[in-house]
Structure 1
């Protein structure tokens, strides 16, 4: 079956090879560089322990240095799914949201026609470039020189000039034997409403050729030299070659520069892109006369995981940025984001370059803020939150915005960041409160004398929980989970999702967690991988720590059933502890504004869940006695408490 011209190019543009291959391999995070699309893994086509399978996401190509397998996304799907060419196309097209065209017997004719149109566009590029050197273009040349563009820049970006007059380009192409119908199909001329011959679309304008990812001229952008012209910038209409929502200005050159490590900059217009590129920022692109579209966003993320949106420092620039946020929220994925560089007020990147040089632009780009910060600014700037109603309205709006993020883990991180920004906004406004509420507001009462607590005993000081910070319990439970899985790695696959979402407070814990996840499927290598990640001494310290060594499955390594119960119980306790902390933090903030029965009920339920998670598995079999207050008390816990109290009284008597 013949596919329409350009379909496979579009499919490859929309497909991330890293995502396609990632379903079949486990990436080697130490060797891979996700930011550059440079990924390594053990080869899925032959058995190996080392990561010799390389994926270059920017080029859309894979190669194994062991078995020499290589190809693109289509070939990978064919080989791994054991399907034919068209079946692989259908699989990838469905994932990319594209519909595979039905069989077209005229596909070759269409391919030939697109080739013809591209040739006509190239002739137009050459015509405009020659016209820039002629007499009528003197004013245009002066303008370009004033903007700091030398001959080198004019040649690199193939800048030209459409002379005044209604038929200059048309007559030139007719002399070259070009059919006027092809000129119409290219968007170079328009039909006359008065029955005359077609006339030139671009007149008295500086011309900027627009090329696709393959380097073909597909359209033009023209800047008017007449200040009274209705359109300062005019783009080609959409044609068989040109879909403005799926292309970017300077895309081919920017993709190559981004692949070499340059950060991708998204500017507003052609002149900004040219100025940035000439100043040492070659990975610069611009949308084509419209706001950024979803396909353009995906193109940017194919080139860079975190493009920088360079904004003009005015209200219009901010409005454009806010539109980008609205577009990007539903499309966000882990590792795919945006940053925003806001130029000084009243300046665009070109203005800043000419006024202060590349160093000033680099400084603004280095200070680019993440999207969540600009989202917060959009919702809070210029507003006053001096009442519960206004604060509640802000919370409601922010929840609605964040809810548009499809990825639940990313949505949670956005929520955490927003909560921290909210805390910083409202917390300084809350003064200390002592006394009670009287008519006219809260009144200060007399200060109470405060006595420092007695110093801790040596036994208390030795406690890991007491000597740690508020995250100590988390770190202790994380250590038990990781140690248990290191001693019995075949159980890890049952807890892969919980492990992946576990926020490790200790860097060694984080490294060990990643190693355990990577070792799923090759458990025999885990010990060596763990020692390589954190060092043999650190691993031995973890396994011999007092709070770890006493765990039954650590004392009896390899017992899968015991390990499974231990890890499940520790995850439950950890989740309950984190839930309790979250409720307590939020309730503390709410308590200062309004305390009610619902709030105390929430705290009670969270405490109950935490206590329930902390129970031993055989607690229902425990012996109970009646305490002094009439409540049931675990006999073992009561005996331990009585012993502790006796010791305290003895120490006090000795003192």
Structure 2
């Protein structure tokens, strides 16, 4: 929408920056000088206790000396409330008493009609809230108390009650001078099809607990009603489609969730009103829900405008799983780099409200922490309950996966999905073929004393070679430490540049980290440019249990953890290189220098590997005083035997 010249300038002059900012901060009156329009406060954009956020009313600009946030009143409203530009303009224009320019006369007429309907909806919110205080709503109040909603929480969510009558709301609104056609257009009333006096509109919502539905600008656009009568045909009833309400383009709790997500809270998509309320009251304030329908394309796009990776939190029953799978099929064609979904499946039989009441907020946080990326849920769906021991079933799976990845329009993301699913598929086929071969040999009465690996073992680090395990762990530690603590990158920059990364996507991540190390939000940049390897690193199990790597960890502890990871990885690789070179040297003439080189490599390796947390219980001392674990000693003995063999059995 284009704005006429001078509109924004006039808007900025009509509002005072300190008045807008003052709603989000507490001014430090010791540093502020009101007479000069000079204001100071702790910054609302990052956590701090000192007053480093400065507002200059005369110039109309703000600046934070801590996080370097800056801008004018429009920028502040956009960032503080996580609003698009035009919505920020509309919000300030309403406050300043300015009318947004209409595109044409018809648009102006529609805008006036929408304004009237919005005013009717606000009157209905007030009336329903008053009814909740009456004696007729005793059962409704008891139900809300049983669900754990205090009176303060009921007020926060503006919960009301629709009495069990046909014309309660209609008559109350008529007394306020509101015409019946406005009530019908809002969906609050329904016109009777009978003739005569009974042709008057009647209330749509009767004997229901009422939840106001507000749009992204905070305007009441419809209601959801929870039936008090267990025999009612519809347990939950939403308002119909109206000029105000499009249920496929809105979300319950949209505006508060957007503001909370803008402050870094994870965006959670639940199934119903009570789930959203329970999540928000428990501290998960960026929670939303669809409005009586399955998630739509428009709602997905809306979710991604709020957060790059919403978490779909669904009930752990069959219906919840089916809903998750429908979202996957819907999302595949819409995926873009940096925009994805994670899925948190709750315990069977529990929804977020139940889980929080029974086990508390930490249990819900644990479920969210274990949320899986969409590709994992997609893979599990395609292999669940199927046998892949024959070429035909393997080919069928490959065809299904190819068809699914073809739905992804973004070429880079399509390749990432294809590569990842290819690796998972090959691992699955190797396992299936190995089991088939083993079974065939047993039927041939061959004595085979080896059983096939169980699924948990195949998917664990036990299936990898020791060197691969250590490299993967320590590379993940190094990369995640740099991502979460970018201020340490200059300290380790030269080591980071020289290190040879061998993990999948680790080399790409290293290059991106070095290139974007000065970015204000390094993690967001990496998720946009390389989402899959970034996810694999930061969600690596070893990284997630290492407290010294977490973003909130003490900087000195994080630095020590990074230094240790670099030292151990470099020592391990140097030791491995010496072993390879020594093996080559055995083909020539072995001498005392070879033994000395090996002992020095082992000494360097174990010096780096020793730490305050390492156990000494399974180690011995070599003759030269170097501490070796038992596996290392055995390898050294085998190497010495090889040396003796090349010398004809002579002892040295």
- Structure-2 separation of matches of 1:446 and 1:403: 43
* 1:14-38 superposed Cα distances (whole Å, 9 cap, x missing partner): xxxxxxxxxxxxxxxxxxx9xxxxx
- Residue equivalent to 2:327: 324
State the distance in 1 between where 2:406 and 2:218 align: 40
1:222 aligns with 2:208: no
Tell whether the 8 Å contact from 1:2 to 1:107 is kept in structure 2 after alignment: no
Matches within 5 A, 1:513-528: none
Q: Which of 408, 412, 421 lines up with 2:411 in the alignment?
A: 408
Q: Does 2:255 match 1:252? A: yes
Q: Distance in 1 between matches of 2:210 and 2:86?
A: 38
Change (3 A) 1:303 1:165: same
User: Aligned in 2, Cα 1:122/1:274: closer, same or farther, shift over 3 Å?
Assistant: same
Aligned residue in 2 for 1:104: 104
Report whether the alignment pairs 1:334 with 2:366.
Answer: no
CA shift at 1:377, angstroms? 1.6
Q: Give how far 1:393 is off.
A: 1.0
The 8 Å contact of residues 256 and 285 in structure 2, kept in 1 or not, is answered as: yes
Provide the rounded CA distance (Å) in 1 between the counterparts of 2:120 and 2:274.
25
Q: d(CA) in 2 for partners of 1:434 and 1:273?
A: 51
Q: Is the 8 A contact 2:140 2:209 kept in 1?
A: yes
Structure 2 CA distance for partners of 1:2 and 1:306, relative to 1, 3 Å: closer
TM-score by length of 2: 0.55
Structure 1 position 304 matched with structure 2 position 303? no
1:288 aligns with 2:291: yes
- 2:312 corresponds to 1:271: no
Distance (Å, rounded) in 1 between the aligned partners of 2:252 and 2:375: 27
- Please list the CA deviations of residues 555-585 of structure 1 after superposition, one character each: whole Å capped at 9, or x if unmatched: xxxxxxxxxxxxxxxxxxxxxxxxxxxxxxx
Measure the CA separation in 2 of the matches of 1:60 and 1:199: 41
Equivalent runs, 1:69-468 vs 2, <5 Å: 104-195=104-195, 196-431=199-434
The Cα of 1:228 is off from its aligned counterpart by 1.1
- Deviation track 1:37-84 (CA, whole Å, cap 9, x = no partner) reads xxxxxxxxxxxxxx9897999989589xxxxxxx97679xxxxxxxxx
Q: Secondary structure at the match of 2:344?
A: strand
Structure 1 pair 469–425 and aligned structure 2 pair: CA distance change class (3 A): closer
Report if the CA contact (8 A) 2:308-2:339 is conserved. yes
SS at match of 2:226: strand
Work out whether residues 389 and 436 of structure 2, in 8 Å CA contact, stay in contact via their aligned partners in 1. Answer: no
Deviation at 1:427, TM superposition (A): 2.9
For 2:105, what is the secondary structure of its paired residue? coil
How many residues are aligned here? 410
Conservation of the 8 A alpha-carbon contact between 1:187 and 1:201 = yes
Does the CA-based 8 Å contact 1:2-1:104 persist in structure 2? no
Who is 1:545 aligned against? none
For 1:240 and 1:403, how far apart are their aligned partners in 2?
37
CA contact (8 A) 1:268 1:311 kept: yes
The CA distance in 2 between the partners of 1:55 and 1:409, in whole Å, is 35
Q: CA deviation at 1:260?
A: 1.2
**8 Å contact kept, 2:241–2:247:** yes
Measure, in 1, the Cα distance between the counterparts of 2:268 and 2:152: 22
Are residues 2 and 261 of structure 1, via their aligned partners in 2, closer, same or farther at CA, if it must alter by over 3 Å? Answer: closer
Counterparts in 2 of 1:396 and 1:428: CA distance versus 1, 3 Å: same
Q: Tell me how far apart the structure 1 counterparts of residues 203 and 185 of structure 2 sit (CA, whole Å).
A: 13
2:102–2:108 contact (8 Å) kept in structure 1: no
Which consecutive unaligned segments of at least 5 residues does structure 1 have?
4-32, 34-50, 64-70, 76-100, 448-467, 473-501, 520-533, 539-650
1:510 positional shift: 4.5
Structure 2 contact 388–432 (Cα < 8 Å) conserved: no
Superposition deviation, residue 429 in structure 1: 3.5
CA distance in 2 between counterparts of 1:175 and 1:505 reads 70
Instruction: Give the Å deviation of 1:416.
Output: 2.3
CA contact (8 A) 1:58 1:303 kept: no
- Partner of 1:431, secondary structure, is helix
CA drift of 1:302 comes to: 1.2
Helix, strand or coil at the partner of 2:434: coil
Deviation for aligned residue 1:395: 1.2
Indicate the RMSD between aligned Cα atoms, in angstroms.
4.6
- Displacement, 1:511? 4.0
1:596-631 CA distances to partner (integer Å, 9 max, x unpaired)? xxxxxxxxxxxxxxxxxxxxxxxxxxxxxxxxxxxx
CA distance in 1, matches of 2:435, 2:285: 54
- If the length of structure 1 is used for normalisation, what is the TM-score? 0.55
How many Å apart are 1:230 and its aligned residue? 1.0
CA, structure 1 residues 432+157, in 2 after alignment: closer, same or farther (shift >3 Å)? closer
Specify whether residues 336 and 58 from structure 1 end up closer, same or farther in structure 2 by C-alpha distance, changes over 3 A only: farther
3-state SS, counterpart of residue 345 of structure 1: coil
Question: For 2:70 and 2:510, how far apart are their aligned partners in 1?
Answer: 23
Decide whether the 8 Å contact of 2:238 with 2:292 is kept in 1: yes
